[in-house]
Chains A and B, each alone.
Chain A
Amino acid sequence: MILAAEEGGAQILFPIWQEILVGAIAFGLLCFVLMKFVFPMMEKTFEARVDAIEGGIERAERAQEEANQTLEEYRRKLAAAQEEAAAIRDEARADAVAAKEEILVSAREEANRVIAAGHAQIEASRQQLVRELRSEVGNLAVDLAGKIIGQRLAGDADTAATVDQFLSQIADDTAETSGAR
């Protein structure tokens, strides 16, 4: 028994060659399949994953840049639009001032013209009135004088002079009255 155990004890360190064969073939087969068909695929997948992530980051960066550019553009456009609006406003204000001036000037001119026209008309009317009055007053005076004196002083030379004097007196009065008015 002891002898057998000792022999056996050594035995366990000596490999059975059939098992070496089985182990080598089995492990070789495993290596072949895993190292040829599986793990290289995994490396490829890892790389593809890294690419995908880095590509994603790159795409995001590009999109960010594009967004920034667009924003910048919009800001520029907005500033330009504001400037334009200010210019338009200034122009409109200037236009309004000019228009106001123009209207004032024309209104003043119109007023002056109307006033002048009024004066001229009044003057014309006065002249006409004076003319009419002069002739009418003469006639009236002659008629009156004829009626008062006619019966007794027909053909007296002093009478004509008196009438002339009377008439010029009336004319002076009229002129004074119109000048005062």
Chain B
Amino acid sequence: MTDSAIVLAEGESHFPPGIHSFDFRDWFTGLSDTALAHMFTTITFAVWASVAILIVFFLWAYRKPQIVPTKKQWIAESAYGFIRNTVAIDQMGKKEGVKFAPYLATLFLFILIMNFWAIVPGVQVSPMSHIAFPAVLGVLSWIIYNVVGIKKHGFIGYLKLTCVPPGAPWFIYPLLIPIEFLQNLILRPVTLALRLFANMFAGHLILLVFILGGFEMLNSGNIFIQGLSVFSFAMGIAMTLFELIVILLQAYVFTLLTGMYIQGSLADEH
């Protein structure tokens, strides 16, 4: 036990995968003890690469927009138009929807590309499996829907809108108001961030289990177990496809919920 613990701590062996699998070395070891630790790792590289890919693609594809779109322009427009129409305008209507569509589309694309690193060969880990990144997005969503609500209804009006559900009998208010307050104003960003984080974290873990497990079986001396490793790798591939669905779904869910929260803040008082 002590042996394996030491080995794990040193990161030389990868099986079984655990939380240590999410710790990435600093690229510049000299920075490890400074404030710049964790600034240059595979994770942050993936973050910057995601942003760079999106910025470069969209600026390139939309350099000279035309009425009749070219193929690359069409792809860029579809990416934006998907969130604009199915999330923003569907929930908030044409006027408000168009106002919030740019943020929601940016959010969706960012999460999508960040998630996508989970199945990119050679990286196979999403930055979203580090709580910091989903947390930033969750807090941003929280700020946005609260600011929007307070702007529209005033501070008291907004509190009333979110915490006092209409139609409930008065004697249940002491119970209902704290629950609503907690749910709508405290837990929403937490659940947003945790849902995304946990999905990507678990996805990475599952891939590691099957792929590293396959290698572990290959390394065992037993020919029978070595033969069985094929199934482990096959599961790894199947789980990669499954992960693709999770990637798309989680990016969409995060965006959809943010849109719903904003819409809730915009809703007229009952």
On A, residues with C-beta under 8 Å from B are: 1, 4-5, 8-9, 11-24, 26-27, 29-31, 33-35, 37-46, 48-49, 52
Q: Could you tell me if B131 and A38 are in contact, using CB atoms closer than 8 angstroms?
A: no
Q: Could you tell me if A18 and B130 are in contact, using CB atoms closer than 8 angstroms?
A: no
Q: Given contacts A8-B19, A8-B20, A19-B38, are A42 and B77 in contact (CB under 8 A)?
A: yes
| In the complex, the 6 A-B pairs of residues with the closest C-beta atoms, listed nearest first | A15-B132, A19-B132, A39-B102, A18-B38, A8-B19, A23-B136
Q: Could you tell me if B19 and A23 are in contact, using CB atoms closer than 8 angstroms?
A: no
Q: With A34-B109, A38-B76 given, can you name 7 additional A-B contacts, CB distance below 8 Å?
A: A1-B1, A8-B19, A12-B131, A18-B36, A23-B136, A33-B58, A34-B54
By a CB distance below 8 angstroms, the chain A residues around B43 are: 19
The docked-state distance in angstroms from the alpha carbon of A1 to that of B5 is 6
Q: Mark B224-243, 1 if CB is under 8 A from A, else 0.
A: 00000000000000000000
Q: Which residue of B lies closest to A13 (CB)?
A: B131
By a CB distance below 8 angstroms, the chain A residues around B4 are: 1
Main SS class of interface, A: helix
Q: Could you tell me if A20 and B136 are in contact, using CB atoms closer than 8 angstroms?
A: yes
Which of the segments B59-67, B163-171, B248-256 contacts the partner chain? Answer: B59-67
Q: Which residue of A lies closest to B65 (CB)?
A: A45
Among A24, A40, A44, A52, the one with the most B-chain Cβ atoms within 10 Å of its Cβ is A24
By a CB distance below 8 angstroms, the chain A residues around B59 are: 33, 37-38
The docked-state distance in angstroms from the alpha carbon of A23 to that of B139 is 12
By a CB distance below 8 angstroms, the chain A residues around B133 are: 19, 23
By a CB distance below 8 angstroms, the chain B residues around A8 are: 18-20
The docked-state distance in angstroms from the alpha carbon of A39 to that of B99 is 11
Q: Which residue of A lies closest to B58 (CB)?
A: A38
By a CB distance below 8 angstroms, the chain B residues around A15 are: 130-132, 135
Q: Mark B89-110, 1 if CB is under 8 A from A, else 0.
A: 0000000001001110110011
By a CB distance below 8 angstroms, the chain A residues around B81 are: 42, 46
By a CB distance below 8 angstroms, the chain B residues around A18 are: 35-39
The docked-state distance in angstroms from the alpha carbon of A17 to that of B39 is 10
Q: Which residue of B lies closest to A52 (CB)?
A: B67
Q: Report 28 cross-chain contacts, Cβ distance below 8 Å, ordered by A residue.
A: A11-B19, A12-B19, A14-B131, A15-B131, A15-B132, A15-B135, A16-B130, A18-B38, A18-B39, A19-B133, A26-B48, A26-B50, A27-B136, A27-B140, A30-B109, A33-B58, A34-B102, A35-B102, A35-B106, A38-B76, A39-B105, A40-B102, A42-B62, A42-B76, A42-B77, A42-B81, A43-B98, A44-B65
